[in-house]
Amino acid sequence: MDFNSVKGKVAIVTGASRGIGRAIAECFGENGMKVVCAARSAEQGRAVADGICAKGGDAIFIQTDCSKASAIKELVDKTVTHYGKLDGVVSNAGIGMGGTPLHEYEVEDYEKIFSLNSEGVFAGMKYGAEAILKSHSEGGFLINVASVAGLVPQRGQALYSATKFGVVGMTRAAALDYAEYGITVNAICPGYTRTSIFGDAPAAAMNFFAADCPAKRMGDPEECAALALFLASGLARYITGAAIPVDGALSAGHQSISSWKHPEILTGGKLNSQSTIAALMENEAAKAIVEQYLPGFADNQQAKAAYGMTFGKIGPMLGLPETALKALLDALDTGSVEYESQSIVGGRKSPGFAALRRESGLVFQDPFSSLDPRWRVAKSVAEPLSLQRRDLNNTDIDERVAAALTMAGLEPADFLNRYPIDLSGGQAQRVVIARAIINEPKVILADEPMSAIDVAARIQILDTFAAIRAARPSTAIIMVSHDLGVVQHIADRILVLHDGRLEETGSTAEVLGNPQSDYTRQLIEAASL
């Protein structure tokens, strides 16, 4: 058996700039398919297409807002114009949302997630099927990337699960529509997979999710890509209407602890049994909180013994919702977290929480995931003012937005009316920075702000932070970064963390010039500073 049957087929892959979409696009290209890479990010999407071509493949990039049916139709039309036909569509673009009970979601949340996760998939199938039929494709296919959450509901994931259940249902119904016409329609349902949703999360965070999976590991995007290639090939012509999990048995059923009668069957391996299980959480309050947001994990009880993880290290990188994090802080027996000498433990009820929320700005690692694709730049930047400064009139808001964009190195006249899809990665990140500084915060927290953009854009971002420091010297900037070159350029002080532990701290000159920790020395050597 081989995959020669896919050679020459024309396929669209949405969300192709990273993660599973990128892996599928590259896999298709390596096996002789003509690939149309569709994504919002022009820089990342074009890089994927260029990479396929560099390896001898045939690929183009078409910038697309996959939340809009009209954009999907235009994507399909451009594909047919370029290649003369269409054989398949992989509807992969989507967003995650969760961590809260249904009644706490806003209507805007519903509209945002359904526009991409549901309407985008519908449009991909509708216009894709039409083009495949008109192309008289031999071996046409529609592949939708759903989720394990489309097979098994998850607490706090009402909207996300609804979209993914809908994708599975739409897939199966469409399979009935097109079976006699030779178009297969299937869904891939990934579990915990190493994609950009986890960013640069530390090993402990990955271990946290791996421990929740029966296979005791996370999946790789390439594993979903291999399945997509099979479903697109002649080897899978009798497989249609299927929703196939790629999840390490996560959706197979509830895990229970068991012991082996004959562990000697394993040679050199580590037995997952009662003999290796230790108490993950002795704090009952913390255990209850984790069970609320990650059902079943608290009783799996392996993380502490296997990975040395303590709740003192749990943070947003673990993917826990903000409300869970606040509750965990409140449940801890020792230690304190303060802002302006006021405790923030306890969330909204604590004296320091309101001040921290009002006086801080956030810059996220992936700018596009933090910008509403339906909002123009002006509205996105103004959002903090709309929420916290009801005393300002529209003129005041407009002036502040323009000033923030200018400080971020963007000309207001050129960017106010743009949508995120119209921005490069560097431009989008500077829009996010403008939003973070609009309220003149005392603290700016930047999470790997240069990791998802190219070198030229990084320089612009560094210049932006330098401009902020010059204009507002009292503003504290806390930056999380693995790039020591960036840290060396911008930071006054450095804290080096390793697996949640503080290795050392001091001035930038002290830490980089005379490191005291072996781990710090290894980082400096690897960065060639």
Q: For 427-458, b where at least 16 C-beta lie within 10 A, e where not — what string?
A: bbbbbbbbbbbbbebbebbbbbbbbbbeeebb
User: What are the residue numbers of the active site?
Assistant: 160
CB-based contact 438:400 (threshold 8 Å)? yes
Where do the DSSP E strands lie in 402-507? 443-447, 476-480, 493-498, 501-507
Among positive and negative, which fits the CA dihedral 395, 401, 405, 408?
Answer: positive
Q: Dihedral sign, CA of 120, 121, 126, 130? A: positive
Please report, for residues 3, 85, 164, 230, the alpha-carbon distance to residue 221 in angstroms, rounded to integers and kept in the order given. 19, 28, 18, 15
Strand partners, 494: 506
DSSP assignment of 174-229:
HHHHHGGGT-EEEEEEE-SB-SGGGTT--HHHHHHHHHTSTTSS-B-HHHHHHHHH
CA 90 – CA 29 distance, rounded (Å)? 13
Instruction: Locate 299 and state its tokens.
Output: 């009783």
Whose tokens are 């989507």? That residue is 94
Q: Give the integer Cα–Cα distance in Å for 408 and 417.
A: 16
CA–CA gap between residue 152 and residue 149 (Å, rounded): 5
Question: Contact at 8 Å (CB) between 76 and 129?
Answer: no
Nearest to 225 by CA among 90, 396, 427, 47: 90
- Pull the structure tokens for residue 220: 């790789």
Please check whether residue 158 is in contact with residue 105, taking contact to mean a CB–CB distance below 8 angstroms. yes
C-alpha–C-alpha distance, residues 320 and 439, integer Å: 27
Taking the C-alpha atoms of residue 193 and residue 19, their distance in angstroms, rounded to an integer, is: 9
β-strand 58-63 against 88-91: which pairing, if any?
Answer: unpaired
With the C-alpha atoms ordered 20, 242, 132, 71, is the resulting torsion angle positive or negative?
negative
